[in-house]
């Protein structure tokens, strides 16, 4: 391929840096901190699950891009599930408890999906792969 004399060739796109072992570990912590948050605060519709990813994102967002990305993904996912949990709670209250016949099974399904996706995300992060949750609102960009 020849380049005309007045033009310079365009540089190749930058190669994505492979995350270091420390970045992989912090990204793993970002995903698993959602589980720890629920265990510490109790299973109250996902509240508490977003505190760990939020803290990790705030601490590492300027120094570790891979960790910042994965913490944002975990934070958005936990916030999405907290909103779903709150909606199920409001639905149950508005129907004077009758809605629990629908909300409780849905809550169990959402909880299992949350656990499975969080474990998958943690495994992928420990491998250095950027994971995107399949069900997540992008509230933090």
C-alpha atoms less than 13 angstroms from C-alpha of 96 in its C-beta half-sphere: 0
Q: Looking at the whole model, is its pTM more than 0.85?
A: no
The confidence score (pLDDT) of residue 19 equals 87
Cα(1)–Cα(141) distance, integer angstroms: 40
Per-residue DSSP letter, 42: -
Q: Is 90 inside a domain boundary? A: yes
- Would you state the pLDDT for residue 6? 64
Is 70 among the domain residues?
A: yes
Number of domains in the chain: 1
Sign of CA dihedral 34, 60, 14, 28: negative
> Is 16 a member of any domain?
no
Coil vs helix vs strand at 116:
helix
Measured CA to CA, the distance from residue 71 to residue 78 in angstroms comes to 10
Domain-embedded: residue 7 = no
Which pLDDT does position 15 carry in this prediction?
40
Residue 14 located in a structural domain: no
pLDDT of residue 10: 56
Determine, yes or no, domain membership for 12: no
Please check whether residue 75 lies inside any domain of the structure.
yes
**C-alpha angle 128/134/135, rounded to 5°?**
130
Rg (CA), the chain: 20
Q: Flag residues of the chain having pLDDT under 50.
A: 12-15
pLDDT (0 to 100) of residue 34: 87
Whether 117 is in a domain gets the answer yes
Range of the domain at 80: 21-126
């Amino acid at each position: 391929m020849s380049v005309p004399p007045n033009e310079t060739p365009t540089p190749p796109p930058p190669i994505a840096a492979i995350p270091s072992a420390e970045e992989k570990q912090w990204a793993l912590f970002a995903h698993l901190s959602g589980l720890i948050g629920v265990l510490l605060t109790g299973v109250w519709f996902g509240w508490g699950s977003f505190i760990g990813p939020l803290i990790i994102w705030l601490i590492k967002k300027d120094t570790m891009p891979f960790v910042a990305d994965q913490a944002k993904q975990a934070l958005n996912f936990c916030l999405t599930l907290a909103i779903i949990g709150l909606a199920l709670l409001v639905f149950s209250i508005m129907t004077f408890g009758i809605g629990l016949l629908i909300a409780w099974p849905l809550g169990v399904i959402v909880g299992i999906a949350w656990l499975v996706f969080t474990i998958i995300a943690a495994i992928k992060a420990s491998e250095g792969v950027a994971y995107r949750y399949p069900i997540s609102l992008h509230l933090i960009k």
